[in-house]
Amino acid sequence: MSGPGTEVASRPIGVFDSGVGGLSVLAELKRWLPHEHFVYYADTAHCPYGERAPEDIERLTLRGVRWLEAQGCKLVVIACNTACAFSLHSVRAATSLPVVGLVPALKPAVAQSRSRVVAVFATPVTLEGSLLQDVIAEHARPAGVRVLKLWQRELVPLVEHGQADSPFTHALLKELLTPALQAGADALVLGCTHYPFLIPALWAEFGDAFALHDSGTGVAKRARALLEGAGTLNVQRRAGHTQLYTTGDAASTESVARQLHPDIAGVQPIVSSEVPA
Ligand code: DGL
């Protein structure tokens, strides 16, 4: 059987991040949607986003989403908490595609914390963004849970440079998280998509002292539900393929991306004149 739904079903899902962090979300998307094709946009030339002005992040995010739309994507996942923090509403208003965003996974952390102290580890833009404030007001405050906000400037660049498990990274995590542990936190929300790549270092330094929470599975389930609802799930029997694009240097992005995500076949550069302004 073929028809408009079948044509849309075979189109790729677009995934957007400031860099390689969204590969942690891509891994979950591929687990829940194994037959889908993916086009990944890494805005490496402008990474990190974490300390940029919200209007700058909004402009860069819109550019990426328009580029993904021009590649024929059927749905876009903004796999970047920082991009979602202030821009999710304007991105949704600017495209006719369904857009899946993410917010730090504070809700499950609040539900499971025994000590009633939860640490959220994210960029300054995410920590101050309206999405997180809403979740704190709706879930943490009524439950009497204290939320500690943590950030470390060098960790996203370290992940981008393939140093997620280096001795320096371990030392930074120890310095950042020891006070949170001493303050009684028993849950750590990984509120930046780069941070799931720090899990081996977190385990080595802290064992199971913190329950770790990230948004990858929730995002993948949401994307799957949207496609099922629209009748545009790809039901082909073959495994889907993934293509990565970067606004930065393709060779260095490729070598880090391959370390973080074994299925990456190659990385193509995006010529800036091809990106909508
Ligand atoms: N991966 C991103 C996030 O989820 C962005 C990190 C950055 O570029 O500072 O927040």
pLDDT at 277 (0 to 100): 60
Q: Does residue 276 surpass a pLDDT of 70?
A: no
User: Is residue 14 helix, strand or coil?
Assistant: strand
- Ligand 1 atom with minimal separation from the 79 CA: 4
Closest CA to 148 of 194, 113, 102, 200: 113
Same domain, 16 and 60: yes
Note if the bond before 276 is cis, omega within 30 degrees.
no
Active-site residue, 84 included: no
The residue from 47, 73, 80, 84 that is catalytic is: 80
Q: Are residues 79 and 130 in the same domain?
A: no
Tell me the CA–centroid distance for residue 2 and ligand 1, in Å.
40
| Whether the CB of 126 sits within 6 Å of ligand 1 | yes
Could you tell me if the CB of 80 is within 6 A of ligand 1?
A: yes
Q: Are residues 185 and 237 both part of a single domain?
A: no
Cα three-residue angle 213-48-126, rounded to 5 degrees: 45
Q: What is the C-alpha separation between 273 and 277, in angstroms, rounded? A: 9
**pLDDT tens, position by position, 177-186:** 999 999 999 9
Q: Tell me: do 131 and 52 sit in the same domain.
A: no
Helices 167-182 and 199-206: angle between axes, nearest 10 degrees: 60
Q: How far lies 164's CA from each of 18, 59, 67, 172, in Å?
A: 17, 28, 29, 11
122 and 205 within one domain:
yes
- How many A from CA of 141 to the centre of ligand 1? 25
Burial of 106 (C-beta count, 10 Å sphere; 0-12/13-18/19+): buried
pLDDT higher than threshold 70 for residue 275: no
Q: Is the pLDDT confidence value at 3 over 60?
A: no
Query: How many angstroms from the chain centroid is the CA of residue 248?
Result: 18
Q: Does 115 share its domain with 210?
A: yes
Question: Whole-angstrom distance between the N-terminal and C-terminal Cα of the chain?
Answer: 39
Domain that holds residue 82: 4-102+217-274
- State yes or no: pLDDT of 168 exceeds 90: yes
Residue ending a domain, among 199, 214, 229, is 214
In the structure, what pLDDT confidence band is assigned to residue 235 with cuts at 50, 70 and 90? Answer: confident
Q: Is 80 a catalytic residue?
A: yes
CA of 150 to the centre of ligand 1 (A): 14
Same structural domain for residues 160 and 239?
A: no
Whole-angstrom distance, CA of residue 175 vs CA of residue 178: 6
Write down which residue in 196, 214, 232 finishes a domain. Answer: 214
Q: What does the alpha-carbon distance between residue 32 and residue 38 come to, in Å, rounded to a whole number?
A: 13
Please report the pLDDT score of residue 237 as a whole number.
Answer: 82
Q: Give yes or no: residues 210 and 222 share one domain.
A: no
Residues 71 and 196 in one domain: no
Task: Give the chain's domain count.
Answer: 2
Residues 20 and 93 in one domain: yes
Average pLDDT, the chain: 95
Q: What is the pTM of this model?
A: 0.95
Q: Alpha-carbon distance 168 to 164, whole Å?
A: 9
Band (4; pLDDT cuts 50, 70, 90): low
Give 41 Cα–ligand 1 centroid separation in angstroms: 13
Query: Tell me, what's the pLDDT at 15?
Result: 98
Q: Is 81 in the pocket of ligand 1 (CB under 6 A)?
A: yes
With left for phi above 0 and alpha for psi between -120 and 50, is residue 106 left, alpha or beta?
A: alpha
Same domain for 75 and 164?
A: no
Q: Indicate whether 128 and 210 sit together in one domain.
A: yes
**pLDDT tens per residue across span 256-268:** 999 999 888 789 9
CATH number for position 150:
3.40.50.1860
Instruction: Give the residue-averaged pLDDT of 245-257.
Output: 96
15-63 pLDDT, tens per residue? 999 999 999 999 999 999 999 999 999 999 999 999 899 999 999 999 9
Cα–Cα distance for residue pair 192/212, rounded to 1 Å: 12
Give residue 129's pLDDT band: very low, low, confident or very high (50, 70, 90): very high
Per residue in 83-125, pLDDT (tens digit) is 999 889 999 999 999 999 999 999 999 999 999 999 999 999 9
